[in-house]
Amino acid sequence: MRTDSLIPAQDAHGSDAFGQDHPSLDAAVFDDIQRVWGFDTLRPLQAEAIAAGIAGRDSLVVMPTGGGKSLCYQVPPLAAARAGDTRIDVCVSMTNEERDDVRRAVRAGEVRLLFVSPERLLAPGFDTWLGSVGVRAIAIDEAHCISQWGHDFRPEYRQLKQLRRMFPGVSLHACTATAAPPVRDDIVAQLELIDPLVLVGNFDRPNLIYRIEPRIDGRKQILGVLERHRGDAVIVYCMSRKETEAIAEYLSKEKFNAACYHAGMTSIQRSKVQERFTAEKLDIVVATVAFGMGIDR
């Protein structure tokens, strides 16, 4: 990995106004961002990452959670299309009819951004179909899972090293919030990134406080924290589904606005809890690690 391609961020949680100098992007791109996503500012390194995507240059983007990685790979397809409407589809678990509809829309040029799981991407014949519709770029989120140090949870991530062979003329963009230097080097090597732009954000999070305390009376200790943050958004993580239900019930009896969330609930039940929490109608979610991805509150 070339050291001259690594650009550090001084403040990963500051912001740059659109009016400031971003020579790597033209005004039309900022118009797209304001019109579609409603953002008036960009966070550090977003402009550089977006520019790399538009230019078709391989990249590795390492930003802390909340740093805005998803915008880095969502903007370029829209900027390339300059269309009034952009359709985004998720191709993970669909009926045959839904998959046929998505494939028709992709072939017709109606879909600019297609989300697929690694398992779907590696399914027999899927790469051939993608190649036939003219895919221009591939972004891999949670790219640390590609590394030999991070692929145990999703072994299919390790197989994504086939992408360069499968799509030799397509730019590859790896995004993650977790990657020490050896992992970054391994991601670049595994994906065979070509002269990648490597952007690494500042991981200092002055708004976060970490405390480790011995568990003496778990419920009493939880109450002590929640009393100091009554009315705020809180996630209490538990090790088991049964414990999430018991703690949520306990907190409700203590007059807290709480609900549980775990993989044993129906999708409708989980969606309802997540929607209420996101809409600030629910203060506390007691959950297993199945909860928390993509929550913006």
Distance between CA atoms of residues 59 and 7, nearest Å: 11
188: tokens are: 């670049």
> Is the distance from CB of 257 to CB of 285 less than 8 angstroms?
no
52: tokens are: 């790399």
Distance between CA atoms of residues 152 and 263, nearest Å: 20
How far, in Å, are 34, 244, 278 from residue 17 at the CA level?
A: 12, 42, 27
Q: Which phi-psi region, left, alpha or beta, contains residue 186 (left: φ > 0; alpha: ψ -120 to 50)?
A: alpha
Least Cα distance to 185 among 6, 35, 15, 10 occurs for: 6
Query: CB-hemisphere CA count at 13 Å for 29?
Result: 28
List the chain pLDDT tens, one digit each, 297 residues: 443 344 444 443 444 545 445 667 888 898 888 888 888 889 889 999 999 999 999 999 999 877 889 999 999 988 776 544 455 544 445 678 888 888 898 888 888 888 888 888 888 999 899 889 888 999 999 899 888 765 566 778 889 999 999 999 899 999 998 888 999 999 999 999 999 999 999 877 777 788 899 999 999 999 999 999 988 999 999 999 999 999 999 999 999 999 999 989 998 999 899 999 988 999 999 999 878 766 767
- Predicted TM-score of the model (pTM): 0.69
Ramachandran angles phi, psi of 278, nearest 5°: -65, -35
Distance between CA atoms of residues 99 and 117, nearest Å: 14
- Residue ranges of the alpha helices (H) in 108-152? 118-121, 126-132
Distance between CA atoms of residues 141 and 242, nearest Å: 31
> Is the distance from CB of 233 to CB of 277 less than 8 angstroms?
yes
- Only one residue has tokens 């030799």, namely 168
Which residues in 253-269 are b (16+ Cβ under 10 Å) and which e?
eeebebbbbbeebeeee
| Torsion of the alpha carbons at 161, 74, 145 and 115, rounded to the nearest 10 | -80
> Is the distance from CB of 177 to CB of 145 less than 8 angstroms?
no
121: tokens are: 């991407």
